[in-house]
Amino acid sequence: MTGATPYPSYRLRPLMAAICAASLLAAPVLSGPALARGPDGIADVAEKVIDAVVNISTSQTVEAKGGSSGGERGATPQLPPGSPFEEFFDDFFKNRRGGPGGGSKGGEAQPRKTNSLGSGFIVDTAGIAVTNNHVIADADEINIIMNDGTKIKAELVGVDKKTDLAVLKFKPPAKPLVAVKFGDSEKLRLGEWVIAIGNPFSLGGTVTAGIVSARNRDINTGPYDSYIQTDASINRGNSGGPLFNLDGEVVGVNTLIISPTGGSIGIGFAVPSKTVVGVVDSLRQFGELRRGWLGVRIQQVTEEIAESLSIKPARGALIAGVEDKGPAKPAGIEPGDVVIKFDGKDIKEPKDLSRVVADTAVGKEVDVVIIRKGKEETRKVTLGRLVDDKAVQTAAKTKDEPVEKPVTQKALGLDLAILSKDLRTRYKIKDSVKGVIVTGVDSGSDAAGKRLSAGDVIVEVAQESVASAADIKKRVDQLKKDGKKSVLLLVSNAEGELRFVALGVQ
Strand partners of residue 93: none
Q: How far is CA 149 from CA 6, 144, 204, in A?
A: 21, 9, 9
Q: State the catalytic residue, choosing from 164, 225, 337, 471.
A: 164
H-type alpha helices, 104-144: 133-136
Q: State the catalytic residue, choosing from 57, 134, 202, 486.
A: 134
H-type alpha helices, 301-390: 303-308, 350-359
Mention every residue, 6+ apart, whose C-beta is less than 8 A from residue 60. Answer: 73, 113, 114, 138, 139, 140, 141
Per-residue three-class SS string for 249-262: CEEEEEEEECCCCC
**What is the distance between the alpha carbons of residues 489 and 501, in angstroms, rounded to a whole number?**
5
Per-residue three-class SS string for 402-424: CCCCCCCEEECCEEEEECCHHHH
Q: Does residue 259 contact residue 265 with C-beta atoms inside 8 Å?
A: yes
Query: Has 432 been annotated as catalytic?
Result: no
CA dihedral 222, 224, 228, 231 (to 10 degrees): 0
Q: Does residue 62 contact residue 96 with C-beta atoms inside 8 Å?
A: no
Q: Does residue 326 contact residue 332 with C-beta atoms inside 8 Å?
A: no
Q: State the catalytic residue, choosing from 69, 239, 259, 308.
A: 239
Query: Has 119 been annotated as catalytic?
Result: no
**What is the distance between the alpha carbons of residues 156 and 443, in angstroms, rounded to a whole number?**
55
Tell me which amino acid residue 459 is: V
Closest C-alpha among 169, 142, 133 to residue 279: 133
Q: Is the dihedral of CA 471, 474, 479, 485 positive or negative?
A: positive
**What is the distance between the alpha carbons of residues 43 and 465, in angstroms, rounded to a whole number?**
67
Query: Has 343 been annotated as catalytic?
Result: no
Mention every residue, 6+ apart, whose C-beta is less than 8 A from residue 449. Answer: none
Q: Which residues have a catalytic role annotated? A: 134, 164, 239
